[in-house]
Amino acid sequence: MKPTLEQLTQEFTQLVGPAPAAPAAVQVVDFAARGVNLDVTVAPDQVVAAAQLLDRHGFSIDTITGVDWLAQGQMEVVYDYMHFTVNLRVAVRTRVPRDDPKVPTISTIFPGANWHERETHDFFGIYFTGHPKMSPPFLLPEDADFHPLKKDYKP
């Protein structure tokens, strides 16, 4: 059964729940303008459930990345998903406090997430709890104890 945009929107709205602070947690966006079809904001403890939902619908992991919002004191983790047979792109994002950035790993659902999470840990210092191998660094030098994409990083 192939997923449709309406179905995903509905299921994600159910997953995210009635969060009053984020009225537009599940957004259908214009692909031609943004390059994704669905943009979902979830709580940090919901990323695994979101990955399971997309896994059930046959999605594949595209990439995982972070964004450092220094002014807001937050770290954002963005999960990009793609589908090989249905032309749908979904972005799932979550925000964690900048001084203690921890997100549960989704490498148990998508093994491909393993390397993307290690890379995100390298660059931003975001810790993925339950990840099988958070150190040594993935792309950075073996002894690197810095996170170069943090906005307050000084070389």
Partner 1 sequence: MTATQEIIYAGGGSISALPQETFVLNVGPQHPAAHGVLRILMEMDGEWITSAEPIVGYIHRMHEKMGENRTYAKFLPNTSRIDYLAAIHYTHAYVGVVERAAKIEVPLRAEYIRVITAELQRISSHLVGWGAWIMDLGGLTPILYAFDDREKILDLFEHICGARLTYCYHRFGGLCNDVDDFFLQGTRDFVPYMRKRLKMYRDLVTDNIIVRKRLEGIGIMDAEMCRRYGATGPVIRGAGIPYDVRRAEPYSIYSQFDFEIPHYPQGDSMARYLVRMDEMEQSLRIIEQALDKIPGGPIQAKLPRVLKLPAGDYCYAVEAGRGRFMIRLVSDGKDTAYRLKLRTPCLSNLSPFAEACRGMILPDALAMLGSLDLVIPDIDR
- In the complex, which residues of this chain contact partner 1 (CB under 8 A)? 31-36, 58, 60-63, 65, 67-68, 78, 80, 82, 84-85, 87, 89, 91, 110-112, 114-115, 123, 137-141, 148-149
Q: Least distance (Å) from partner 1 to the CB of residue 9? A: 19
CB nearer to partner 1: pick between 12 and 81: 81
CB closer to partner 1, 19 vs 139? 139
CB of 143 to partner 1, least distance (A): 12
Using the CB atoms, write b or e for 86-108: b if 16+ within 10 Å.
bebbbbbbbbbebeebebbbbbe
One-letter amino acid for residue 116 of the chain: H
Measured CA distances, 88 to 13, 71, 101, 103, 148 (Å): 17, 33, 29, 25, 32
Identify which of residues 14 and 111 has a Cβ nearer to partner 1 in the complex. 111
25 alpha carbon, distance to own chain's centre? 14
Element (H, E) at 34: helix 31-34
Q: Which is nearer to partner 1, 17 or 111 (CB)?
A: 111
Query: Least distance to partner 1 from the beta carbon of 18, Å?
Result: 26
